Amino acid sequence: MGKRQRDCVTCGAPVGFLDREHCCRCWRRMKEDAARSPCRSCGLQRVLQQDTGRCVLCSRICEQCGHPVRAKDGRLCRDCRNKARRLAAQQPCPRCGRPGYLREPTGWCGSCSRPRPAKKPPRICRECGQLRRHAGLGLCSPCWQKHPGRPFIRGDHLREQLAEPPWWLDDFVAHVAKRHCVSRACGFVTDLGRLLGDEHPNSPQALLERSRRPGRSMGSFARALEDFFTRHGLALPTDQSDRLAAGRRRRRLDAVPDPLRLAVTAFDASRMRAQERARRAGTRPRSNHTLETALSILRDLALFLAAERGKDGWELVDVQDIEAFLNTLPRARKRRLTVLRQFFRFARAQHLVLVDPTRGLAGDEARGFRGATLTLDQQRGLFRRWTTDESVHPHEALVGMLALLHGASSTETRLLQIDDVDETTQSLRLGKRPRPVPMDPASWAVLQRCLAHRDGWRTDNPHVMVTKGTKAGRSPASTAYLSHVLDPCGFPPRMIRSTRLLDLVNVMDPKLVAAAFGMTAESTLIYLADRVDPGALPGPETP
């Protein structure tokens, strides 16, 4: 060591260098301190590693959790090491398949090995008196399922769950509980809870829209909601029937072969515009049924042209094609020709075709009724079937008897309401007929049978014919139901009704018949044509 020059300014020890104020110890300490800075991880003053920016201890981290690892060659921290050791000791349980420590006595994991709590002993059910397992309120499970208070209990639970229960909730619960079986009503309340609980708006109209299922039917829950909301004036009815009609038109258009489709689509669009215009103007719009029938005829023609005549453009169609198409179904000639004329007139106006191929064609069929009618024996057989056979469905008997004896159309029978039945005079108000129709004893008996069947549904649907699908609402039975209700008797409703009308018109004055049936005079005159089914002529035999 050199000669003492002066004392260290920090500790007072001798300083040997001329140009230093600190002793060697303090000098070294200061030099080391300058290389250190606070570690990001532990916060101590340490020399930081270049690559991690932490001190050497904190630079070693666990591969799994990122915590510091103390040991030089360790890959996992202490916690992760212990966890790995424990996991390695586990084995998949043969009972539940999850990893666990298998217990000696059972060979299963811990939770599987634990003894189950013993089931409570069965009790005598309050309702059915049988010794069964208890489900709730002192009832066995089947009796509890049927308990009429369940929808209300579920409604109470729902009200407690919701932050802002709607004010109509109680009314809705009472509404569905009255009209549906217990389990279905409970299902509806649950469905409603799901809709009310989501993030969307809860106005009745919005709920109704959200409740609809995609597809042909909007679902029983949506129907129940619609029924309830429209009855209470809370929402407008859904546009389900319009949607279904749009779907039917879509399917018909889709079936048209590709090159021919564009014109048919344009035709349909123009017809739809016309319908909308007529609806707004209050004139008589074409019914959906009319529009769909026209599309079906055009679809059939397009398929015929593509398959049989090898034509792939409307401009190629000539009179022979149309004639050949009409001959495939001679009985529908007039109906089809009317639609084809309309279509080709439209196509000419749009410059899709230059010549109207239907122009030279005549709808030359004689006007008049050409359908089949029942023979007297067949009429007698039907009369016996509907008045004496108890196994016949009351709806079949009612539709049949009203058509056979009173010339009622299926629409008139379908829309018949309880209020239209007059008990004192034993008469019915049918459709648009100006006067009530007096019932004969046989028809009256059939009507009573039908009313008894209606009472069995315990419904407040105002119609006489109530089906399983309409008992909960107020709508009439569907047209599809009516078109098949007479299937078991083997004759279509129109044929039975035509028999009666033909008979009446040919025996009485057609004008009288028109007045009595609320028909136009022209529509009864159709039945006065000279071509009459021989069996329908009044013969020498009497029924």
Binding site for Zn ion (CB under 5 A): 8, 10-11, 13, 23, 26, 39, 41-42, 55, 58, 62, 64-65, 67, 77, 80, 93, 95-96, 108-109, 112, 125, 127-128, 140, 143
User: Least distance to Zn ion from the beta carbon of 113, Å?
Assistant: 8
3-state secondary structure at position 483: helix
- Do residues 173 and 152 make contact, with C-beta atoms less than 8 angstroms apart? yes
b/e code 470-503 from CB counts within 10 Å (16+ = b): bbbbeebbeeebbeebbeebebbbebbbbbbbbb
Side chain identity, residue 452: A
User: Least distance to Zn ion from the beta carbon of 155, Å?
Assistant: 23
User: Least distance to Zn ion from the beta carbon of 50, Å?
Assistant: 14
Query: Is residue 228 within a helix (H) or strand (E), and if so which, with residue range?
Result: helix 220-231
User: Least distance to Zn ion from the beta carbon of 190, Å?
Assistant: 23
Q: Which is nearer to Zn ion, 13 or 182 (CB)?
A: 13
Q: Which is nearer to Zn ion, 9 or 512 (CB)?
A: 9
User: Least distance to Zn ion from the beta carbon of 46, Å?
Assistant: 5
Q: What number of CA atoms fall less than 13 Å from residue 169's CA on the CB side?
A: 24
Q: Which residue stretches of 22-61 are H helix?
A: 24-35, 56-59
User: Least distance to Zn ion from the beta carbon of 25, Å?
Assistant: 5
Extract the tokens encoding 396: 């079949």
Residue 461 CA to residue 297 CA, distance in Å, equals 37
Residues contacting residue 51 through CB under 8 Å, at least 6 positions apart: 59
Query: Is residue 293 within a helix (H) or strand (E), and if so which, with residue range?
Result: helix 288-308
Residues contacting residue 291 through CB under 8 Å, at least 6 positions apart: 245, 249, 268, 271, 272, 275
Q: Which is nearer to Zn ion, 112 or 253 (CB)?
A: 112
Residue 254 CA to residue 265 CA, distance in Å, equals 9
Provide the β-strand partners of residue 438.
Answer: 427
Extract the tokens encoding 476: 């009439």
Q: Which is nearer to Zn ion, 8 or 255 (CB)?
A: 8
3-state secondary structure at position 394: helix
Would you give the distance in Å from CA 80 to the centre of its chain? 54
Q: Which is nearer to Zn ion, 80 or 256 (CB)?
A: 80
User: Least distance to Zn ion from the beta carbon of 75, Å?
Assistant: 9
- Do residues 263 and 352 make contact, with C-beta atoms less than 8 angstroms apart? yes
User: Least distance to Zn ion from the beta carbon of 56, Å?
Assistant: 8
User: Least distance to Zn ion from the beta carbon of 95, Å?
Assistant: 5
- Do residues 123 and 131 make contact, with C-beta atoms less than 8 angstroms apart? yes
Q: Which is nearer to Zn ion, 65 or 274 (CB)?
A: 65
Q: Which is nearer to Zn ion, 62 or 182 (CB)?
A: 62
Sign of the alpha-carbon torsion through 370, 376, 379, 385: negative
User: Least distance to Zn ion from the beta carbon of 35, Å?
Assistant: 15
Q: How many other CB atoms are there within 10 angstroms of residue 281's CB atom?
A: 9
Extract the tokens encoding 497: 């009704």
Residue 288 CA to residue 285 CA, distance in Å, equals 9
Q: Which is nearer to Zn ion, 65 or 206 (CB)?
A: 65
Q: Which is nearer to Zn ion, 90 or 523 (CB)?
A: 90
Q: Which is nearer to Zn ion, 42 or 521 (CB)?
A: 42
User: Least distance to Zn ion from the beta carbon of 138, Å?
Assistant: 9
Q: Which is nearer to Zn ion, 104 or 419 (CB)?
A: 104
User: Least distance to Zn ion from the beta carbon of 126, Å?
Assistant: 7
Between vectors from CA 12 to CA 9 and to CA 15, what angle results, nearest 5°? 75
Q: Which is nearer to Zn ion, 14 or 535 (CB)?
A: 14
